[in-house]
Structure 1
Amino acid sequence: MVRHNNQLPNNLTQLQNLVKRDPDSYKDEFRQQLAHFETTLEIFNLNPSQYNKKLDEQSMFLAQVTQCYQNDMKTFPQKIVDVLKTHNTVLHNDMRLALCKCLILLRNKNFVSAFDLLELFFSLIKCQDKNLREYLKTHIITDIKNMNMKNKDMKLNSTLQNFIFTMLRDTNVKTAKMAVDILIDLYHKNIWNDPKTVNIIADIGCFSKVMKVMVASLKFFLSRDEEEKPESDSEDEIDPRDTMISNKFNKKTRKREKMVDKVKKIAKKMKKRKAKAPIFNFSALHLINNPQGFAEKLFKQVESSNDRFEVKLMTLDVISRLIGLHNLFLFNYYPFISRLLMPHQREVTRILQFSAQAAHELVPPEVMEPVMKAIANNFITERNSTDVMAVGLNAVREICARCPLAINEDLLRDLVQYKSYKEKSVMMAARSLIQLYRQSMPTLLHKKDRGRPSEASLELKTKEYGEIDVKDYIPGSEVLLDKTKVSEKLDKNQKSVESDDEWIDVASSDSELSITTDSEDSDDDHVKEDVNEKRKKPAKQKLTPEEIEEKIKTAREVAMGKIFSDEDFKRIETAQIKKNLSGVKRKKAVVDEEEESSELVKLADIENIHKKRKHDKNARLESVLKGREERDKYGYKDRRKNVNCSKTNREKRKTKSYQMVKHKARGKVKRSFKDKQIAFRNYLIKQKKMN
C-alpha cells in the first residue's frame, strides 16, 4: 500500500512548514504557488465582491514565508494594498478581513511601514463592517505600543500623531470617532501622554460637531483611571509564606509540588512589582496649555447649545474642574449654575458638586453670593424634607472648605443654629460646618460655638480676601530644640553621678544633722511633701502672644541651622497634632489627622446623610445576609476545581447511613494479652502435631 504523504501543491500548511525549515530546497514549489497567486488575483479582480477561498489561503501562505524569499516578494505587499485601495467598499467582509490580516503579518515582519498601513486602515474604517473596525483599532493601538516599548522614535511618533489629528477633523463620523478612541487609549496606556495629545483632544474633540466625538472627549477629561480600574489580581489572594510552611509538614504529593511551584512564581512576580518604581499619572486637565480660554469656550458652548441634559452636565463638570484646579476666573458660571439649584431638579446633587468644585480662595465673596443664597433659600428651609436640608448644609460645607469667605457672618450663624435640630441628619451636617470654621476661621462663629481654645487655634490667623499666609519657618520645629536641651541636661546629670564617687565633707555638729530612727515617719513626711508640691503647682495657663512669638523665633532659628531628617519631621507632625489636643475636655478625645483636601469634591460627601439605624428584626437580618454575600462558605473548604466532578471515597462516606459503614467504623479490635497467649499456645500445639 502506497502512502501519499507528500501533497505539497495542495497542502499549503505542510509546504509552509518545509519552506521555513529549508527555503532553498523548496524554491520551485514556492515560485509555483506565487504564479498561482498572481493568476488567482487577476481572476478575482474581475469579480471582487465574491469571496475567494483560494486567494485567501495563498495570500496567507505567501505572507508567512515572505522572509525566506525577500527578492521574489518585493512587490507582494503592494499588490495586497492596491486590491484594498481599489475595491475597499465592494469587497466581501471575510475577504477584506483576510487581506488585512495578511498585511498585519507583513507589518509584524517589517515589510510594510507603519505610516502606510495606518493611512490604508483609516480609509477602510468607512466600510460597513463593525468587526473589521474593532480589529483595525486593536492592531493600530498594539502596533504603536510595540514601537514605543523599548525606545521612543520621536520623529515617527510625531508623523503618526499628526496624521491621526487630521483624521480627528474628518467629516466622517466613524473615522473621527476611531481617531479619538485611539488617542484616548494610547494616553491611558502611557504611550502618548504628552501635552500635545491632550490639547488636540481639548481643542478639536470637545468642540466637534459629531456628538459621539464630543462626548468621548469630555469623558476623557472626567475619567480617573486610578479609581475606575483598581488592580485586582487573583494572584494576590494567595499568601506564598503560608503555602511554603504548610508544605513542610503536609504529605508530599505531585499536586502539592505543582501548587508550591506556582506560588513561588507568584511570589517572584509580586517582588518584581514592588521593586518597580511607581508611575504617577497626572490628570489630563493639568496638561492643558490655556485652561482659561478652554473653560470660556466650553461655557459659551453650554449657553448656546441645545444638547441633551446629560451632555450639558458633563460640560459643566469639566468647567468646574478646570476652575478649581487652575484657580480660574469665570464669574458668569456661578449665576448660571445657581439657576439650576432647585431640590426637584434632576441630578441636583451633581450640580451642587460642580458648584463646590468651582469654588476656590480667589473667587470674590460677592460672586459666590448667588450660589450660597440659592442653596440657603431653596434647600435649607424647614418646608423641605430633612434629607434636602442635610444635603444643602453639606454642599455649603464643601464650598466653604474651598472658599471660607463665600459665606458671610450672619448667614453662617443662622445655619449653625441647626446644630440642635430634632433630626439627626440636619444636626450632624450643621455640626460639621461648625467644626470646619473652628479650624479655618473661628472668629466668624459665635463665641460659644468656637469651642475650647487650643494652642493651634491661638496660632490661627484669619485671612482676608486674596491674602496668603507665608511662613519663613517650619511650624512646630521648636520641638527639636527641646530635644537638644534634654540631651544637654542628661549629660550634666551623668557628670554629677560620676562626681558622687569622690569624698564629701559632712558637718559634724548635731544642729546640722537631724537623724530619724523611725522609717515610717520619714515615709509619711515624704508623701506629705509630694502632695503639697502637687497642690502648689499652678494650673496650665494659656500661651500669651509673647510666648507664641518666642516659639516662632525659636522655630526660625532651628530651621536655619539644621537639615531635618525623617524622624524630625515625624516629631514635628506629632507636636502639631498635640496642639489641637491641648484644651480638650474629654479624656478619650481623639483628634484625627486632617485629610489632605483632594482636588475634586466627592459626591458621597454631599450625599452623606446621618440616619438613625433601624433596630427591627428584618433590618438586622438583612444586614447579616448582606455581610455574607462575598464571604466564603463556613466550614469544610471544597478544593475541587470543578464542582460537578466526583468526590473521594472518604468524603462520600460522610453522607452514607451508619448501617452501611459500621463495619468500617469499628476498625481493628485489639486483642488482649491473654487472648494472644491462648492463640500462640494453640499455634504451637498445631505445629507439634504436624511434625
Structure 2
Amino acid sequence: MNKLPNNLPQLQNLIKRDPLSYQDEFLQQYRHYESNLQIFQLKPSTYSKTLEELVLFVAQVAPCYPEEAAPFPEHLRDLLTHHGDALDRSMRMTFCKALILLRNKNMVQANSILELFFKLFRCQDKLLRKTLYTYIVTDIKNVNMKHKNAKLNSTLQGFMYTMMKDNNPVAAKMSLDVMIELYRRNIWNDAKTVNVIATGCFSKVTKILVAALKFFLGHEDGEKDESDSEEDEPPKTEKSLRLSHRVGKHTKKRQKKLDRALQALKKHKKKKKTAEVFNNSALHLLHDPQDMCEKLFSQLEKTTERFEVKLMMMDLASRLIGIHQLSVMNFYPFVQRFLQPHQREVTKILLFAAQSSHELVPPDVIEGVLRTISNNFITDRNAGEVMAVGMNAVKEICARCPLAMSTDLLGDLVQYKSHKDKGVMMSARALLQLYRKVNPDLLNRKDKGRPTEAMAETEPLVYGGQVAKDFIPGAEILPEEAEPKEEKEKNDWESCSDESDEEGEWIDVHHSSDEEAKEDEPQISKEERLKKAQTVSSNRILTAEEFEQIQKRQALKEVEGRHGKRKREGGQEEEGGGLLTLSTIENVHKKRAHDKESRLSTVMAGREGREKFGKNHEKMNPHASSTNKDKRRNKAFMMIKHKVQRKKIKRSFRDKQIALRNSLLKRQKAKR
C-alpha cells in the first residue's frame, strides 16, 4: 500500500520536512536515477520521461543529502558537455534547470556552471539560449551585489574574450549581449569589459559588428530580432485606422479597438522621439583609442556592408577622433567625398565632420572640408534649408577648430546675414557671433560690431597653443582682502539708517561689490586688472556668492563696450567641444506649417460676421415633415441599392417629358 516510490512530489515534500526519516526512500530513488541514466547514455538523443522526473526530484532534495548527492552535478555537467547538441530539447532544458536549482542552493561553483552555459549558446535552441541568457545576467548580478567578486569577474571576462572569437556566430552574439547587458546594469562597468566589447567592432559577422557599434553609439539593447521589430512598429497609420473604422457597423467594441490602436500608435511615436543616450564613458575606458580608430577607419574603407552600417562606423570613428583628439588625417578627405546635397543621410555626415573636428587638427585639413561644404551647400542655386544646414555645419566645425576658417571665406559667408531666407540669415549671424567671440581679427571692420571688454581681453589664437591662466578671470571685481560678513552687513545697515533719517523715506540699498564692479572696473587698465585678479585668486578663498558675482560680471563684458556703453544683448552662443546632436545641424529657422487645429481656428475666425456660405435649403412649409429623399440620406447603402441601380438605367424620351412637366408645374405652384 506504500505509494511513495511512485509519488515523487509527495516524497519530495516529506523529505524537505524530515530528511532523516526518509533517507532510505531517497537512496532508492537515487539508485533508480542512476540506472535510468546509464540506459539514457546509450542513446542520448531519445526522450525519457522517467529520467526527467527523477532529475528534477533529485535536484530539489539534493541539499538535504549533500554527501549522497555529491556526484549528481557532475553527471549533469558531463551530459551537457559531451552530448549538448545531440540531446533532446526537453531533456537538455531539464538538465539546465536542474543545474540552476543546484547553483541557487550553492551546491555548484559559479565559474564552472557559467562557462558551461556559455558553451551551450552554440545549441540551435532559441528558448534555451533565452533562458540561459536571463539566468547568467541574474547570477552575475547576485554574485556582485554586496561586493565585487574580482576573481570570478576576471575569469569570466577572459572566457568571454575567447567566446567572442568562437566559430559559432550565435554563441559569440549571445556572449556579446550578456556583456552589454551587464555594463548597462553597472555590474561590469570596468575597462576590461569595454575593451572586450570593442573587439566586436572588427567582427566579420554583421550582427556582432552592429551590436558592438550600437553599444558605443548609445543603442544599448543592440540589434533587435525581426519579430521584435515587427511588434514595435505599428502596421497602420492613424489615417488608415480611421478609414477602416468608417466601414461597417459602429459598435462600442469596434470603437474601443480603434482607441487602443490609436493609443499604441501614439506611444510608438513618442518612443521614437526619445533622445538618444550615448556611452561616452565607455569611449573613455578604451586602452588604445588611436589604434582602434585607425583599424576602424581601415575597415570602413574596405567594407562591403550596407550603407547604414557604414554610417555607424563613420559615426564611431568621428566620435573617437573628437573625444580623444586623435590624428587620423585620411578621415577628412573620406568624409569630404559624401558632402553633396543629394547624398542620402547627408545631415548625419555633416554631423560626423563636425564631431571629428578639434583644435589639434591642422587647419589646412579642415579648411578643405569647409570649402567643400561652402561650394556644395551655401550657394544661391540651392534651397534655403540646404544653405542653412550647410551654414550650421560650418559654424559647428569652426567652433571646434576656429583656425580652419580663412578671412576670404568668412567674409563671403558673413554676407548672408541679410539673406531673404530666415534660416540662412540666422545661421550666418550665429557664425558671425562665434567669430566675434573667438577670433574677431578675421572679421572685417564693419562686421566686428561695437568693441566690448570681452573682445579686448581675447588673446590671439595659435595652432597647438593652450591658454592656461594662473588666475580666475573676472576676480578683479572683488576686494583684495575679504571683508567679514558681520561687518559688511553692519556697514550697509548704518548707511541705510543714516540716509533714511535724513530724508525721512526708504531708499534702495546697493551692495558694495556692485559699486566696486561699476566704479572701479572701467577706470583701471588691462595690466592692473590682471595683476589684481592674480592677487585676489592667490590670496583668498572665494565663496559661492563671490563666484556668482564673477559670473555676472563676465556675462556683462560680452555686451558692454570698452568705455562702459551698453551693447544690445543677443543670444548666447554655446562653446565648441560639447557633444553634438543631429538637431544642431538641422536647426533651420522657418515658419512652422499650420496643423489642423490652427487652420480650423483661422477658418472659423474668418467666417465670423458673414452669412452662411452655400445654397439655402429651406422648406416651403417649415412645419412639414422630412421627405423620402431626406430619409434616404441616413439609410444604409444596401437598403437603397436597388433604387440606385434603377436610376442608372437610361430613361426614355417619354419619361423625360413627364419629369420636365412635373418640375414646371411644381415651380408654378411655388410662385403662387
TM-score with structure 2 setting the length: 0.73
Match of 1:550 in 2: 528
Select which of 14, 21, 25 maps to 1:18.
14
Q: Is the 8 A contact 2:347 2:585 kept in 1?
A: yes
Q: Could you tell me which of 301, 304, 311 is aligned with 1:303?
A: 301
Q: Deviations over 1:198-244 (max 9, x none)?
A: 22332x32222222222222222212769xxxxxxxxxxxxxxxxxx
Alignment of 1:356-395 (within 5 A): 356-395=354-393
Aligned pairs for 1:530-569 within 5 A: 547-569=525-547
Give the match for residue 254 of structure 1: none
Aligned pair 1:220/2:218, yes or no?
no
Distance 1:486 1:97, change over 3 A: closer
Partner of 1:128: 124
| 1:346-365 → structure 2 map (5 Å cutoff) | 346-365=344-363
Of the three residues 5, 28, 31, the one matched with 1:32 is 28
Q: Distance in 2 between matches of 1:386 and 1:493?
A: 58
Q: Say whether the 8 Å CA contact 1:40–1:55 is kept in structure 2.
A: yes
Show the 5 A alignment for 1:450-461: 450-461=448-459
Contact (CA 8 Å) 1:580, 1:591: kept in 2 or not? no
Q: Is the 8 A contact 2:115 2:156 kept in 1?
A: no
Pick the aligned partner of 2:105 from 97, 109, 125.
109
* Alpha-carbon separation, structure 2, partners of 1:128 and 1:142: 23
Distance 1:378 1:185 in 2: 43
For residues 6-31 of structure 1, the C-alpha deviation after alignment (integer angstroms, 9 at most, x for no partner) is: 84333322222221111111212212
- Rounded to whole Å, the distance in 2 between the matches of 1:494 and 1:542 is 23
CA gap of 1:494–1:399, structure 2 versus 1, over 3 A, is closer
The change in CA–CA distance for 1:568 and 1:594 in structure 2 (over 3 A counts) is farther
- Counterpart amino acid of residue 600 in structure 1: L
Match of residue 433 from structure 2: 435
Alignment-derived partner of residue 312 in structure 2: 314
Whole-angstrom distance in 1 between the partners of 2:523 and 2:468: 19
Alpha carbons of structure 1 residues 381 and 545: separation in structure 2 relative to 1, 3 Å: farther
Give, in whole Å, the separation in 2 of the partners of 1:478 and 1:411: 38
Q: 1:178 corresponds to which residue? A: 174
- Alignment equivalent of 2:91, drawn from 86, 92, 95: 95
SS at match of 2:97: helix
Of 598, 605, 614, 2:584 maps to 605
1-side partners of 2:155 and 2:550: how far apart?
53
The alpha-carbon distance between structure 1 residues 307 and 128, as it changes in their structure 2 partners (threshold 3 A), is: same
Identity over aligned residues, as a percent? 54
The separation in 2 between residues aligned to 1:60 and 1:396, in whole angstroms, is 67
C-alpha distance 97-452 of structure 1, shift in aligned 2 (>3 A) = same
Partner of 1:68: 64
Match of 1:145 in 2: 141
Q: 8 Å contact 1:33–1:58 — kept in the other structure? A: yes
- The range that moved more, 75-84 or 207-216, is 207-216
Matched, 1:53 2:53: no
Deviation, structure 1 residue 592: 6.0
Deviation, structure 1 residue 293: 1.5
Q: Deviations over 1:178-208 (max 9, x none)?
A: 2222222222222222222222332x32222
Partner of 2:560: 582
Q: Give the CA deviation at 1:622.
A: 10
Quote the Cα distance in structure 2 between the aligned partners of 1:621 and 1:53.
Answer: 70
The Cα of 1:465 is off from its aligned counterpart by: 1.6
- 2: distance between equivalents of 1:499 and 1:305? 82
Query: Partner of 1:414 in structure 2?
Result: 412
Aligned to 2:203: 208
Q: State the distance in 2 between where 1:22 and 1:300 align.
A: 68
1:461-472 equivalences in 2 (<5 Å): 461-472=459-470
Query: CA contact under 8 A between 1:418 and 1:426: conserved in structure 2?
Result: yes
- What CA deviation, in whole Å up to 9, does each residue of 1:230-268 have, x standing for no partner? xxxxxxxxxxxxxxxxxxxxxxxxxxxxxxxxxxxxxxx
Deviation at 1:587, TM superposition (A): 9.2
Q: Is the 8 A contact 1:325 1:599 kept in 2?
A: no
Q: Deviations over 1:347-369 (max 9, x none)?
A: 11111000000100111111112
Q: C-alpha distance in 2, partners of 1:568/1:65?
A: 70
The equivalences for 1:156-171 within 5 A come to: 156-171=152-167
Equivalent position amino acid for 2:395 in 1: R
Residues 303 and 117 (structure 1), Cα distance of their counterparts in 2 relative to 1, 3 Å cut: same
Q: Which moved more, 1:612-621 or 1:438-447?
A: 612-621
Aligned 1:637-652 pairs, distance under 5 A: none
Once the two structures are overlaid, the 10-residue window that deviates more, 422-431 or 488-497, is: 488-497
Query: Structure 1 residues 397, 493: CA separation in 2 closer, same or farther (over 3 Å shift)?
Result: closer
2:281 paired residue number: 283
Cα deviation 1:442-481 (Å, max 9, x = unaligned): 2222223223322222222231222222211101112221
What is the distance in 2 between the residues matched to 1:498 and 1:298? 73
* Farther-moved stretch of structure 1 (83-92 vs 472-481): 83-92
- Contact kept, 8 Å, 1:63 with 1:105, in 2: the verdict is yes
Query: Which of the numbers 417, 421, 424 marks the counterpart of 1:423?
Result: 421
User: Offset of 1:77 from its aligned partner?
Assistant: 0.8
Q: What per-residue deviation string (whole Å, max 9, x for no partner) do you get for residues 363-413 of structure 1?
A: 111111221111011111111111111110010011011111121111111
1:621–1:225 distance in 2 versus 1, CA, 3 Å:
farther
Question: Structure 2 vs 1, CA of residues 303 and 67 (structure 1 numbering), >3 Å: closer, same or farther?
Answer: same
Q: Deviations over 1:276-317 (max 9, x none)?
A: xxxx98521111122112111111111222222222111111
Does the 8 Å CA contact 1:167/1:176 hold for their aligned counterparts?
yes
1:42-71 residue CA offsets vs partner (Å, 9 max, x unmatched): 333344323222222221111111110011
Using the TM superposition, name which of 441-450 and 55-64 deviates more.
Answer: 441-450
1:343 and 1:379 in contact (8 A); partners too: yes
How far 1:559 sits from its partner (Å)? 0.8
Distance 1:493 1:155 in 2: 65
Given the superposition, is the C-alpha separation of residues 197 and 622 from structure 1 closer, same or farther in structure 2, using an over 3 Å criterion?
farther
